[in-house]
Amino acid sequence: MDAVYLDNNATTRVAPAVVDAMLPFFGDQFGNPSSRHAFGSGVSGALKAARRQVQALIGAEHDHEVIFTSGGTESNSTAILSALETMPGRNEIITTAVEHPAILALCAHLEQQRGIRVHRIPVDGLGRLDIGAYRAALSNRVAIASVMWANNETGTLFPVAELAEYARQAGVLFHTDAVQAVGKVPIDLRSTAIDMLSLSGHKLHGPKGIGVLYVRRGTPFCPLLRGGQQERGRRAGTENTPAIVGLGKAAELALGHLGEMGGRVRFLRDRLEGALLQRIPDARVTGDLDRRMPNTAHMTFADVDAEGIVALLDRQGIACSTGSACASGSMQPSHVLLAMGFSASASHGALRFSLSRDSTERDIDRVIATLPGIVARLRDLPPVGRAAGATPKRINPAFA
């Protein structure tokens, strides 16, 4: 039985063409791109080509606005810390209550250790940002507003172009964590006021350990890593040539597949949701159904623990993920769902299916045929650990 992988928001399979593009740079083309001899100049040309491929995918005006990093987390940290360094007298940050931990953890650290004030803008029950609260938080005390392009759990898209324009009018830098959006929805940075954008290679069928920070020309910038003059002095350290070339190829492929993401992949996502809603009682799709990524189906199932669903699906060769994160050995409710007004118990019943261009109708048919029986089986188990006023928990047969 073939495995079904529907956890592409966590990571994607490296495309075979990406692997092929990378391989020469582990062998004959091993030179340091900073070297002035032939071994270096050939590699340097490959880096320039990769930079242009990323530029085309995100609609940057200049290829030198693309800075290669180790991934989305480094890009996010660089953007925020740079803004605090280059915007003197400003000690406030605006972000949202549903950002990725790569943003929220940094903001919490800056709040606790440096006394930075952090505005965490709330969302409604569909995960939509409170635009009024965002605009009210903008002031000449704010160094940067950092708002994700697409939520990694629900797939909800935020109106980042509109938010960036409000920030520009207030004299505030605007950054977006677009790790989940790049390669899935069209992006044209030339038509926006976005100052900085983060992306990660392994989310779009590229290798792990490589990412990009886009910095619009003219944006004040302070490097996170200092040393050599790589990346025009904006990110020191010998370039990871194989990964950069792989990311460039992945960007080129993603640009060519954007239509498929908005067409065939969206159709498969909708078919999966529709069938599960028909066959599983007390199921619902979460997030903003009108503005969301085409590949993400985030659903909750009442009176069942999603961890049990994931484990039993895994036994059937089907991979997906929950809406909860494991912390300190215990299951913590998803901060995204809590911010949307879900109870802790409802959050534990959340499941995310994230498709890619590799996903097939057969994959969707397998889930539709398998999941209803698993949910019914879990719901039929006797409740355990009942406490006064608490929602009953059910035995998880996967771990019993």
Which residue in the block uniquely carries the two structure tokens 């079904």?
Answer: 4
Q: CB under 8 Å to 6, separation ≥6 — which residues?
A: 318, 319, 320, 353, 354, 355, 359, 363, 367
What are the DSSP calls for 34-75, one per residue? T-SSHHHHHHHHHHHHHHHHHHHHHT-S-GGGEEEES-HHHH
Widest distance between CA atoms in the chain: 75
Catalytic: 320?
A: no
Cβ distance 286 to 154 under 8 Å?
yes
Amino acid in the structure at residue 267: F
CA distances from 97 to 122, 126, 262, 364 (A): 6, 13, 28, 32
Four-residue CA torsion sign, 111, 116, 122, 123: negative
Using the structure block, give the residue that is written with the tokens 């060769």.
317
Q: Which residue has the tokens 């089986």?
A: 377
Beta-carbon contacts of 274 under 8 Å, excluding residues fewer than 6 positions away, are none
**Residues 235 and 34 sit within 8 Å (Cβ to Cβ):** no
CA distance 297 to 12: 16
The burial of 150, by beta-carbon neighbours within 10 Å (0-12 exposed, 13-18 middle, 19 or more buried), is given as buried
Distance CA 226, CA 327 (A): 33
Question: Catalytic positions, please?
Answer: 326
